[in-house]
Structure 1
């Protein structure tokens, strides 16, 4: 059977061994939660146990675990600041992870592979909404070029393994993802957790204004991690080989509108100022997800509800951390 013949196939996850690579991250943890509904054995391994940038360690792990399915969510990720500061890390780490896992997966006859790409693989000025055919039709956004090149290399490697060895895979291109277990590190966070942290701090310190990067005019689309996980499971269960497919919410708003939405959710009443000397990134990034919609999948979490839930969870985790520190202090 050719790869094209395998494109539309029903695949049962029940009873399968499913390795979620990067299970502690934003998307990986959402995949683990979603897979509890499928009756499969979820395999995980920590970065301390297996360094996926090392080929021998990766090969040993996959040969030992023998997963039927690999959902590849392991990656080095970050916002504009991190991408600008550490381009070598983003390019090296993400490329090595993909190369090592793909080689080992092919050698061990894994039945289903799903690779996590990113909307940043598309040209900076691609026609909007961005169709999958826009790949490699123009220059990339310079601020995350290294990360994008690593993701493009992963996609092309999967394509090459399909062509040369008959190893099918699904390569997804999600839009900007947020949700439970997001990264709130001030240096590495993406835009939504970064805004939540900044505006919450401004509220608690009663700061009269908050300055954010850029002009506030770029348009962005956001997808909740739980929706992305659900889309991944849907695709794995219904398709064996999809060289590239977009996953988005279909809704966009400006960074300025997002900032005011987050301010309303956290209760910040001050003014929001934009520093136009700092980079904006791509002016617009809206994915054309019509192919996925035509297959019958739709997102469920609206942006406001998703951000409200994330803010509550972050506040709760911050409170738990504070209480642990108090308990651990020696008695006076």
Structure 2
């Protein structure tokens, strides 16, 4: 007596009977698997500590994503190497239930800065959506000689050119967007301050307040707080136009730095091995969540202007930033510590 065929066997037999090619069977199998996904909690790996900006963004989106999936969403912090440890963990995940929340560098220049990085952003990670973007704010201490309430952006760059390498600028470390972005600014404005790396942006701001630094590119929330206190002066933002995150500050193009544009951003990515159907489903869910008024407002409070792009939109941004920042890395010979 013959045994009843399983659903999978029956589907295969039906496909063979109709002359369907093997590719059609593979696609149908993937579709069947997608129907029962997710079958367990989804992990969001973040390469930065709890309380950091990427961590806050991931946790903001985790709850509504859990509701949309019908499964718990767990944020897991894999800290180290500027987020690259977390990105590597995502690239090697094979459970189809792991994605990552990453910053610019993890998806663009990681391997250009350090060939020993164990994953390839272009090959091992698949874009899901660009979450949010933010310009940086060029700031200086208000007690810096030559700086007055009337000092314009053009005045500042004249002072900086005259100072040469007697000035210093601070960043959260070698190879960060703040570092490479300032080197880009140096190349476009003919200034030459010396780079001094710090553990993070708060320490950079403290060093400026203490007189150890003459300039820095800071995130808007941190910069605005110090500007309102009267301790730092904002020269301009690194976006192409004015930003709602720092609406009172002009773009640096108005100070004569033509064609200069730089933003920090964060994004969701999946392992490139995750089936395309699952990535598309996740991307659509994430975009819908990020675009809601509630999440948009929360991300704005965290210092992000919502983007919520398609995977293709994020892919284009990755390529553009890799070319821009990669050119500066090569020109300046920048290597990760």
Tell me the TM-score range normalised by the shorter chain: 0.3 to 0.5
Structure 1 or 2, whichever has the larger Rg, is 2
Q: Structure with the greater relative contact order (CA < 8 A, sep ≥ 6): 1 or 2?
A: 2
TM-score of the aligned structures, taking structure 2 as reference length: 0.35
